[in-house]
Structure 1
Amino acid sequence: MDDTTAAIVVGTYHMPGQTFVNRHIQHLFGGRTCVVANTVTGNPYDKPVFDRGTFTGTPGWKAAAPFRRTLLRLREGTGNIPYGAEKASIKRFLRDNGVSVILSEFGTKAILMTDIAQELSLPIFTYFRGSDASYELGKSRRRQSYARMMPRLSGVVAVSRFLLDNLAAHGLTHPNSHVIPSGVDTRRFTPGRKTPRSYLAVGRMVPKKSSLLTLRAFAEATRDAPDASLRFIGDGPDRARAQALAHELGVADRVRFDGAQPHDVVRDALATSQVFLQHSVTAADGNTEGQPTAIQEALAAGCLVIATRHAGIPEIVEHGVNGWLCDEHDVDTYTGLIRDALDADCASMARAARHTAETRLDNAMLLTRLEQVLKGSPP
């Protein structure tokens, strides 16, 4: 009988939007998990939790904390690495819960736990997901801390080959590296009755997602198609600007801005939408996607995906097969693809999209692969 127990290391627990992390906390090794978190906002899965935010420590530990954190910040780029009384308490928490492997969600969190893992002779893995293997690499101290961390890890997982290649371009490699997408629940995300000429965009309305560009492209592409509609689900700094722009472009009656919504609302919207739009671009600070969860969910829901050749997107969206791709910032091509989708054979691409999700992105299958990696078995 497999009695593997994993400690999941996160920044904040619980974050509803981090479905991939929550899935690991709920289901990895049959639910035999505990959580180490910098901040705890709730415990919906009733897990043993070490809340670093409420750790008080001894008077001596508290007195030394500012000095110690300054030294750590200078060396590692973060002052949040456990030490002293807190470090001992985390080690006791891991022993008391029978932890046999540590999984740090995001590379930046693994830095915090490598010392503890080594001292307890526990294998430790990290999961790179996006900004931790793009934006963070622009910081010299982060690159140095990663370089010290990598040889101490038992293995590395990334949601896309793009992220592993990005790390390697900075001299950061590990012999036990694996690509395992975040995945999608293909039983919950399924195609529904599609509304003709319905377009959907899901995600934070931030410059990296190019919401304003998407809105302009949609308005131009559907100028002669008054029955075409676009729905944005997500909030962010670009939302107010996008709403004003919709009025300026004369499409306010065909564009909805629903703000942030529960996951079930996103699922239902994907099920009935014909086309999914995401014009991801590399941010000015180097921040990139890993492999967007929303695109994986759109494929499972049988949407025709129109996206960019950005980060790990081309690894799951094959141009002309299960979706269409354009280069970042190529507004003309993007607009043309949105126009082409008005009368495209969406049904055949929907079948191909669904097939991709079922055969390559099913989260139950990917969870099994991750468990094999964490146990040291070939995936």
Structure 2
Amino acid sequence: MKNIAMFRHRFLPITETFIYEELIKLNKYKPYVFTRVRMNKHQFPFPRVFVEKKNRQLLQLFRRKKIRLIHARFGMGGIDLLPLKIKARLPMITSFHGHDSPDNKRNHFRYKNLHQLFRFGEAFTVTNDQMKQILIKHGCPERKVHILHSGINVSIFPYQERIPPVDEAIRILFVGRLVEKKGAEFLIRAFAQVHENFPTAELYMVGEGHLRSQLKELIWQLDLHKHVHLLGDLPHKEVVKQMKKAHLFCLPSVTGQNGDQEGIPNVLKEAMCCGLPVVSTFHSGIPELITHGVNGFLVPEKNSDALAWQITELITHPELWGIIGFNAHQKVQEDFNSKNQVQLLENLYQQTIHNFYKKSHGLYKKRKG
């Protein structure tokens, strides 16, 4: 079994469960985690984690653990480890996930050496075709870019057919950071319209972020404080419970003013796997997950009126919930099962290691001759 290094600047934010799922499901490779900061240890109790600030010490650890490949998470991680990768003479895969897009203006100063990363990095993974085209646009050779969807542990999100409530309010659920690209403001404004027609409807919002106070003020301005519930950050198990209790799920993602975008949000996959009818937007890679009218519904970005209309249509036609929810569950089972995605990742590890050392051996023989 070959040893590999997974690098993440912070191991691990609670929103990155998908990274942990991949780590614990690897079968053919033994991963060691290298990070600058260890966090949420109780939620992510991975045993082989090394906290090290300096690349010199990381290089010594790589040699001591006989690392054969580096897997850098997020583009910034690849940039950070590029000098070490070259010095250690190791192949490196860098995974881009969404907010680390080179199109994001906030990342421009971090990506001064992006062309070097694309030149010396062996492979790059992206979560959707749009991100692939962005990397190519910024100079990454197409042959190096691989679409690898982030999978979820489908066993955690059992299918449950949704039926309209009899003696309780309709629960609409949002899960996401309270930041611009999650579109929470547009959902709250849309919910104000929905609530006029369905006064007993309730909106539950899970997540924290710098927009919390601004959104709370908006909720009061719209006189929705008794019907919109800001639940803050919740452990993953509690998020699953919220999904079980919900009737509809909404994540109206938008492109931020600085160009910040989603990849394909894992929380949409989780909600769909549960059988929740979902409403989202024509944004980034989301249409690769949701086919409008088949396994969910999509509306244009930043359009509260369209969002309100679509949610109202779903509430008015509960006969759609069962078939939409079932199709959503099937889509995730077939295309976003973490077990299947890990197999594809291990195949990429194998291919990258084989090609790198075959090339290195050829160069050694050539020089020797």
Residue 255 of structure 1 and its aligned partner are, at CA, apart by 2.0
**Corresponding residue SS for 1:100:** strand
**Runs (4+) off by over 6 Å:** none
CA distance in 1, matches of 2:109, 2:221: 45
Residue 117 of structure 1 and its aligned partner are, at CA, apart by 2.6
CA distance in 2, matches of 1:326, 1:311: 13
Letter of the 2:291 partner, please give it: E
Change (3 A) 1:301 1:276: same
Letter of the 2:49 partner, please give it: V
Give the match for residue 229 of structure 2: 256
CA distance in 1, matches of 2:29, 2:173: 34
**Corresponding residue SS for 2:115:** helix
Pairwise CA RMSD of aligned residues?
A: 2.2
**How many pairs does the alignment contain?**
344
Contact 2:102/2:108 (<8 A) preserved: no
Residue 121 of structure 1 and its aligned partner are, at CA, apart by 3.2
1:302 lines up with 2:275 in the alignment? yes
Residue 331 of structure 1 and its aligned partner are, at CA, apart by 2.1
Residue 27 of structure 1 and its aligned partner are, at CA, apart by 2.9
Letter of the 1:14 partner, please give it: L
Letter of the 1:21 partner, please give it: I
Percent of aligned pairs with the same amino acid? 24
Higher relative contact order (CA 8 A, sep 6+): 2
Give the match for residue 351 of structure 2: 376
Provide the TM-score with structure 1 as the length reference. Answer: 0.84
Contact 1:5/1:29 (<8 A) preserved: no
Match of 2:137 among 165, 169, 192: 169
**Corresponding residue SS for 2:8:** strand
Change (3 A) 1:239 1:141: closer
1:60-117 CA distance string (max 9 Å, x none): xxxxxxxxxxxxxxxxxxxxxx3xxx2xx32221122122211001011112223333
Gaps of 5+ in 1: 56-81
Give the match for residue 11 of structure 1: 9
List aligned pairs for 1:187-198, cutoff 5 A.
Answer: 187-192=155-160, 194=162, 196=164, 197-198=170-171
Change (3 A) 1:41 1:228: closer
CA distance in 2, matches of 1:96, 1:131: 33
Give the match for residue 363 of structure 2: none
Change (3 A) 1:350 1:166: same
Residue 164 of structure 1 and its aligned partner are, at CA, apart by 1.1
Contact 1:6/1:29 (<8 A) preserved: no
Match of 1:226 among 154, 176, 199: 199
CA distance in 2, matches of 1:193, 1:200: 16
List aligned pairs for 1:189-338, cutoff 5 A.
Answer: 189-192=157-160, 194=162, 196=164, 197-338=170-311
CA distance in 2, matches of 1:240, 1:144: 34
**Corresponding residue SS for 1:258:** strand
Contact 2:75/2:100 (<8 A) preserved: yes
1:100 lines up with 2:68 in the alignment? yes
Contact 2:175/2:267 (<8 A) preserved: yes
Contact 1:25/1:31 (<8 A) preserved: no
Contact 2:149/2:336 (<8 A) preserved: yes
CA distance in 1, matches of 2:245, 2:299: 24
Gaps of 5+ in 2: 165-169, 355-369
Change (3 A) 1:212 1:137: closer
Contact 1:111/1:149 (<8 A) preserved: yes
CA distance in 1, matches of 2:289, 2:257: 25
**Corresponding residue SS for 2:70:** strand
List aligned pairs for 1:135-150, cutoff 5 A.
Answer: 135-136=103-104, 142-150=110-118
Match of 1:90 among 42, 50, 58: 58
Match of 1:113 among 71, 74, 81: 81
Give the match for residue 92 of structure 2: 124
Give the match for residue 76 of structure 1: none
Provide the TM-score with structure 2 as the length reference. Answer: 0.86
1:355 lines up with 2:330 in the alignment? yes
Residue 223 of structure 1 and its aligned partner are, at CA, apart by 1.0
Residue 158 of structure 1 and its aligned partner are, at CA, apart by 0.7
1:213-251 CA distance string (max 9 Å, x none): 101101202312123221101112332333333333233
Give the match for residue 49 of structure 1: 49
